[in-house]
Structure 1
Amino acid sequence: MARYKYQDPSQSLFLNVSLKDQLIPGSFEWTLDYLIDRTDLSLFDLQYDNDEKGAPAYKPAALLKIIFYCYSRGIITSRPIEQAAKTNIVIKALAADAEPDHDTIAHFISSNSDAIKDLFTQILIQCGQLGLINGEMFAIDGCKLPSNASREWSGSIAELKKKQADLKRLAGRIIEQHKELDRTSANSSREKQKPFARPWEMILKDASGI
């Protein structure tokens, strides 16, 4: 009777990994990395005032790469995005192993939603022109790319403008859903904590005679 070597797919491994080797040239993630690295992101610097005081911030490029890649995989809430940044090797390659927490991600989205929407739209347009995205990507809560998003971008100026408008609406809807889901998650967390705080509220009321 045959015997085979024991293999456990659930085990953890310590490996020497080259992050850049995880981004295959010509893939969506490689193109996302390329485009963002060559985009002027100085607008995002305006929200920071930590050149002399405070801890260093995560680079906007790293946050944008994490967020946009997660969007492409249907991950749209800050807590799951935080987890993906810790465990997904492609995201680690995109963000040079940055692991922002969910509060950082949520604040970045809520503070820069207009700028992020415009950049996200441009990324979608350029990747669409290259045929790197399809109707299965960014399919989040009814938000789907136009069926022709990955086809060759040809046709009249009016047709091209309509495609761009469709992608801009998609980008806006995804970002607004992200913000709304984060708000819902935060409210839910506060509701879970409320029963633990209530006994102290009652004690304080009794002590003050209210």
Structure 2
Amino acid sequence: MARYKPYSYAQGKFIPIHFANQVLPGTFEYTLNYLIDHELDLSIFNDRYHNDDSGAPAYDPKILLKIILFAYSRGIVSSRKIERACRENVIFMALSADSRPHFTTIADFISSMDREIVSLFLEVLLVCDEQKLIGREMFAIDGCKMPSNASVTWSGTRADFQKKVTKMETAIANMVNHQSRSQEIGPPVKL
């Protein structure tokens, strides 16, 4: 008769997680984390909050941007699903420093800062593409196909490049606008 290794679901395991060690160099999330912390100008968010003297502390826009843009890169556009990922996914926990923002906070941030998020996301995508962190054939967000092969797709004149940037901005804006109108993933946006 066959013998099998014993197992039991009635056991637990404590796993120590150091968030800084979860975001590994050479990955999209590492570059996203670095760009938001060190390269992007996020002063546009400073005027949004007026809680210096009273009111509860707000979530740092850096944290919200990191989890939203990372979620978008994984095809997650529902604020409820982003909130869930921050509770269940180690990379989301690491990017958010385990702050776990509520889905209403995420949805409000997206809907009120859609123009800023679109321009920042485009900047992140262009840098990541330059560093070859985006797949060499396609980068999909919510069914939105974006070319990412720099040697073929991004070669051409400055006008050609500007057309492609405009297409990416439009696709990102459509995705953000769709998120603002509903909490569910919508139909794909074609470029």
- TM-score scaled by structure 2? 0.85
The one-letter code sitting in structure 2 at the alignment partner of 1:169 is: T
Matches within 5 A, 1:65-80: 65-80=66-81
**Do structure 1's residue 54 and structure 2's residue 55 form an aligned pair?**
yes
Cα distance, 1:7–1:26 mapped onto 2, change above 3 Å: farther
Q: Which runs of 4+ in 1 moved over 6 A?
A: none
- What is aligned with 2:158? 157
Looking at structure 2, the residues matched to 120 and 144 of structure 1 have their Cα atoms a distance apart, in angstroms, of 15
Looking at structure 1, the residues matched to 58 and 14 of structure 2 have their Cα atoms a distance apart, in angstroms, of 28
Looking at structure 2, the residues matched to 98 and 138 of structure 1 have their Cα atoms a distance apart, in angstroms, of 27
Contact 1:138 1:145 in 2 (8 A): yes
Cα distance, 1:136–1:51 mapped onto 2, change above 3 Å: same
Cα distance, 1:15–1:139 mapped onto 2, change above 3 Å: same
Cα distance, 1:7–1:161 mapped onto 2, change above 3 Å: farther
Q: Which runs of 5+ in 2 are unaligned?
A: 186-191
Contact 1:117 1:172 in 2 (8 A): yes
**Do structure 1's residue 131 and structure 2's residue 119 form an aligned pair?**
no
Structure 2 residue matching 1:109: 3-state secondary structure:
helix
- What is aligned with 2:189? none
Cα distance, 1:59–1:18 mapped onto 2, change above 3 Å: same
- What is aligned with 2:34? 34
Contact 2:111 2:179 in 1 (8 A): no
How far does residue 176 in structure 1 lie from its aligned partner after superposition? Answer: 1.0
How far does residue 69 in structure 1 lie from its aligned partner after superposition? Answer: 0.6
Looking at structure 2, the residues matched to 11 and 168 of structure 1 have their Cα atoms a distance apart, in angstroms, of 49
Cα distance, 1:80–1:45 mapped onto 2, change above 3 Å: same
Contact 2:35 2:124 in 1 (8 A): yes
The one-letter code sitting in structure 2 at the alignment partner of 1:33 is: N
Cα distance, 1:99–1:82 mapped onto 2, change above 3 Å: same
- TM-score scaled by structure 1? 0.77
Contact 1:37 1:61 in 2 (8 A): yes
Greater Rg, structure 1 or structure 2? 1
- What is aligned with 2:65? 64
Structure holding more helix per residue: 1
Highest RCO, 1 vs 2 (Cα 8 Å, sep ≥ 6)? 2
**Do structure 1's residue 95 and structure 2's residue 85 form an aligned pair?**
no
Looking at structure 2, the residues matched to 110 and 44 of structure 1 have their Cα atoms a distance apart, in angstroms, of 14
